[in-house]
Amino acid sequence: NVYGNVSWTDKPALTTSADGRDVYISFNGPNGGDPWMAVSHDFGATWSQTKVADSTLYYFAYDADVLHDGTVVFAESEIDYSGPGGAPVNQVRHHVFVSRNSGATWEDHVVDTVNVGEPCVAVGCGPDFYIGHDALSADDSGTLVLLYDGATTNLGPQQIFTRRSTDGGRTWGARVALSVAGENATSPAVESRG
């Protein structure tokens, strides 16, 4: 196990420096949904790992990027599964975890909080299938773009929203809706061309 004593449980995300020497993986576990970071500075030969939040809620890592200045940013959603039968309740918080020192320490910034959207009711589909997705990318100037899904009313249809940061994820601009209100939208993706 390259991660040592902690094994990931769901949806790990990986990003690397441009030369591939610095490798960063976020995952949750081992006994729940707490977010962890695994860091390697030798092309993945050796690893260290750090728990970046201690919570009763569940974190999903979805996307990450390394800026040209070495700043590492992971986009993650935090979900409360305390509803009947383990259903998601309350709100989804969309976070970015940021390291400005090659993974030695991590900042936690809540970018937005949205309502839990409508559940999936298809056979074999969990009620949380549509919720809690993030996508992140940075351009050559270091401007970050975060896309995420969420509802504006409890259990309502979701929209895809975006926010931008020009200071390495410290602060974020206003929420902008990218999808049509009243129609369920989920699982955004984004990639910068420069």
Contacts 24+ apart (CB under 8 A), 47-54: 47/2, 47/3, 47/4, 48/103, 49/3, 49/4, 49/6, 50/103, 50/106, 52/26, 52/97, 52/106, 52/108, 53/108
pLDDT per residue as tens digits for the range 87-133 = 999 999 999 999 999 999 999 999 999 999 999 999 999 999 999 99
- pLDDT band with cut points at 50, 70 and 90 for residue 5: low
Mean pLDDT over 30-49 rounds to 90
- Can you give the pLDDT at residue 2? 46
- pLDDT band with cut points at 50, 70 and 90 for residue 7: low
pTM: 0.93
- Can you give the pLDDT at residue 33? 87
- pLDDT band with cut points at 50, 70 and 90 for residue 10: confident
pLDDT per residue as tens digits for the range 67-78 = 999 999 999 999
Mean pLDDT over 42-49 rounds to 93
pLDDT per residue as tens digits for the range 134-152 = 999 999 999 999 999 999 9
Q: Are 194 and 139 in contact (CB under 8 A)?
A: yes
